[in-house]
Amino acid sequence: MLRRTQTADPGLNGKPYLVVIIRFSSSRSFPVTVFAGSTIRELKNEIAEKQNVPASDLRLILAGQSLKDDFKLSKFYFRCGHHESSSVDETAIPLNHIKPNSRLVECITCAEKSTLVLVFPCSSGHAMCLDCFQNYGVTRLNNRTFVNVENVGYSLPCPAGCENSFVQEIHHFHLFGDDQYERYHRFSAEQVLLSEGGVLCPRPGCGNGLMLNTEKRRIHCQPPVGCGYLFCKQCLEEFHEGECGMVPVQPPLTDDIAVDEELAERSRWEAETRDVIQRTTKPCPKCKTKTEHSGGCMHMTCPQCKFQWCWICAKDWNLDCQGSHWFG
């Protein structure tokens, strides 16, 4: 299931609405219009009426996660973190992995120092520029190697192979662009179907998803949702009697993301953090809280205990400090 949005329309009583793109197959989709805030249950009823299928037979999947009937639909758009909400009903989803590259960390794959980077949540905090992140994601999509992560959905790990490094919010994948983000959702729905014993209709131009409740080899991609094709469950060829023919072995896929060990060491976000803290902070002489000096005079005020002290002398601020090295 994919989501698109439209603005309020006088034809819908002036209420904001959503145009939800529903996909039963890899090649066929159709729009369903519902009011913003509608539930998945209400959306299922609209789909059932359009497609002449029982609503109880429908299951909606987004990013590899089945959507519960009481889940409410909403629109998505990018905005600056300082933007004020226009409605009390809006919910912000911060893209916490995207950071301004104030530490000038090198990208783990291209070694460039970009303005913005995506920082993976691994212990090393490897950083990747957004262009490389897009290429990385599209490559993994092409090879169908996204990983289903519990309570997250299909996600990407750090390309260095670090543990506990999966992107934790799927909205980061909007950075792939609209077409690739649509492919991402199509892939995740198909993977859920296949992992639960379903099949995709192999007829070119169809790709309809079928959940099977039979052990028989003869599978019918049944209209009106399907194309009517009869195929063999085992070999996915047109249905036949007797044994299936030999299926050629496909070479293994690779993600084609080369990570240099030395570059991976230089692109560690947390390592840069420690270096920056060491260069720009000193402990308060009174409470030992690390205090940053980012320019200006040497007169410091501890943010924790409010003690006033000298950055150079590391002692109580006095007239001697003010006279000899107020500005360094």
Inside any domain, residue 43 = yes
How many residues can be counted in the chain? Answer: 328
Q: Quick one: 110 and 169 in the same domain?
A: yes
Q: Quick one: 49 and 117 in the same domain?
A: no
Inside any domain, residue 176 = yes
Indicate whether 127 pLDDT > 70: yes
Q: Quick one: 293 and 316 in the same domain?
A: yes
CA dihedral 302, 307, 313, 317 (to 10 degrees): 130
| Mean pLDDT of the region 29-33 | 68
Indicate whether 142 pLDDT > 60: yes
Burial of 146 (0-12, 13-18, 19+ CB in 10 A): buried
Q: Quick one: 140 and 202 in the same domain?
A: no
Q: Quick one: 224 and 157 in the same domain?
A: no
Nearest to 154 by CA among 169, 164, 142: 169
Q: Quick one: 54 and 111 in the same domain?
A: no
Q: Quick one: 185 and 201 in the same domain?
A: no
Residue 148 pairs with which residues in a beta bridge? 154
- Write b or e for each residue in 30-48: b if 16 or more Cβ atoms lie within 10 A of its Cβ, otherwise e: eebebebebbbebbbebbe
**Contact call for residues 13 and 32 (beta carbons, < 8 A):** no
Residue 281 in tokens: 């902070």
Of 162, 232, 235, 297, the active-site residue reads: 297
> For position 216, what pLDDT does the model report?
85
Inside any domain, residue 226 = yes
Indicate whether 8 pLDDT > 70: no
Final residue in a domain of this structure, among 175, 190, 205: 190
Final residue in a domain of this structure, among 23, 47, 66: 66
Q: Quick one: 181 and 208 in the same domain?
A: no
pLDDT tens digit sequence for 197-227: 888 888 887 888 887 777 788 999 888 778 8
Number of domains composing the chain: 4
Q: Among 29-38, 102-111, 268-277, whose mean pLDDT is lowest?
A: 268-277
Q: Quick one: 186 and 144 in the same domain?
A: yes
Q: Quick one: 50 and 120 in the same domain?
A: no
Inside any domain, residue 52 = yes
Indicate whether 4 pLDDT > 50: no
What is the Cα–Cα distance from 69 to 43, expressed in whole angstroms?
9
Indicate whether 3 pLDDT > 50: no
- Compute the mean pLDDT over every residue in the chain, rounded to the nearest whole number: 78
Residue 119's domain comprises 98-190
Question: Among this protein's residues, is 297 annotated catalytic?
Answer: yes
Inside any domain, residue 80 = no
Final residue in a domain of this structure, among 66, 81, 107: 66
Q: What percent of the chain has pLDDT over 90?
A: 19
Inside any domain, residue 264 = no
Indicate whether 133 pLDDT > 90: yes
Q: Quick one: 176 and 209 in the same domain?
A: no
| Mean pLDDT of the region 278-296 | 77
Q: What is the CATH number of the domain that holds 167?
A: 3.30.40
